Amino acid sequence: MNYRINPKTGLKHSLLGFGAMRLPKPAEGGGDIDEAESIRMIRYAIDHGVNYIDTAFTYYEGGSEEVIAKALRDGYGDKVMIATKLPSMRLKKPEEHDYFLDTSLKRLERDYIDFYLLHGMKERYWPVIQECDTISFLRRKKEEGKIRNFGFSYHGESFELFKEIVDSADWDFVQIQLNYMDADKQAGVKGLRYAASKGIAVIVMEPLKGGKLTNRIPPSIQKYWDAIETKRSPADWGLRWVANFPEVTTILSGMSDFAQLEENLDILSDADAGCLDDKELAVIAEMAEEYRKLIPYGCTGCGYCLSGCPKALEIPLLIGLRNESAMFDCFNSVKYEINHLIRKPPSLCVACKKCEEVCPQHLRVSEIMKELEEDYEDISLQWWRDYV
């Protein structure tokens, strides 16, 4: 296993981190997590050098934290650093801070959290964090020893917000989404380098875009892989693209079966900064552009549509997910993302077409919302009922 030094703490991080959001499912019902297989995978990962495990308060409604606790019994807990998250999307008042942290500590069977994050910072959560003075809470808990390091994960729409949040506190680390399709989205490569310039450790999530960069490769994309002299799997290329950046401290992978774990261990035991040459990087950049040609709707994410929507739908994000489902032929994973990332479902659209009147791209937004509603009509709306 390759290791990198955390620039803030001096700790040695395994390049591969175990992301516990997509744990294996039981073969025949019986809950959301195959507990025995998850424990086997986590311990195998640790035995092969992984020392960073990432989970969250909300993953499987605590089931992820609880399975990790069981996996870390019998001395395994002394070999790893645990990251978990305060659920920013649920925070409403300062009094809830202690409940979220103490619940995670209890589930994880630990006295402290090595790396504690504000979960999924974005435009609608950051003001709540400020109003609740959550950063003061994090500093206090660090002084008390219940948190060793505090940071935030980021899913906002712009680098500018990411920079604002980075500059707002003395963060120990940040966690960003980064892969060759998202180099210029959210924080992106620019955010990676900005945080690193501040001496902050950067943990990368979604290096394979939730598996979209490895599944159902279109023929127009496969030709690019075939053109590269060195033959590697799509997962290998995707992980190496992230590992190529020296600013990256750890790469999280949400592995859901043993084969994925073994492959990722093999890849990131070999990959390191500078592992791709200029020719290989150029081909990957060309391939990413070819992927973008598969996008059915030319939404630029400008946000003009948001001002007039009577239902306050997150139209750019919804269309973005629709585009992803077409690019990667991945309706099932987009269903998951709509159910977990979107505040209001497309079925709320009343087809008033106010958004269409101001859209610079002249998109038929109401028809796109109808397509989403029809494609994903079986999605449970319980998440929206609880948190809208």
269-282 exposure pattern, b = at least 16 Cβ within 10 A, e = fewer: eebeeeebeeebee
For residues 333 and 275, state if they share a domain.
Answer: no
What digits encode the pLDDT tens for the residues 218-230? Answer: 888 888 888 888 8
For residues 326 and 211, state if they share a domain.
Answer: no
Task: Identify the pLDDT of residue 342.
Answer: 67
Q: Of 281, 252, 280, which is closest to residue 268 (Cα–Cα)?
A: 252
Domain assignment of residue 42, yes or no: yes
For residues 105 and 227, state if they share a domain.
Answer: yes
For residues 162 and 237, state if they share a domain.
Answer: yes
For residues 58 and 131, state if they share a domain.
Answer: yes
For residues 152 and 13, state if they share a domain.
Answer: yes
Domain assignment of residue 340, yes or no: yes
DSSP-assigned letters across all residues of 229-277: SS---HHHHHHHHHHT-TT--EEEE---SHHHHHHHHHHHTT--TT-S-
For residues 382 and 250, state if they share a domain.
Answer: no
Boundary residue ending a domain (251, 284, 317): 284
Domain assignment of residue 99, yes or no: yes
Domain assignment of residue 184, yes or no: yes
Residue 179, domain extent = 3-284
Task: Identify the pLDDT of residue 26.
Answer: 87
Domain assignment of residue 298, yes or no: no
The parts of the chain modelled with pLDDT lower than 70 are 29-30, 300, 329-343, 360, 375-388
For residues 229 and 336, state if they share a domain.
Answer: no
For residues 235 and 367, state if they share a domain.
Answer: no
Is the pTM higher than 0.85? The answer reads no
CATH of the domain at 80: 3.20.20.100
Q: Looking at the 3D structure of the chain, how many domains does it have?
A: 2
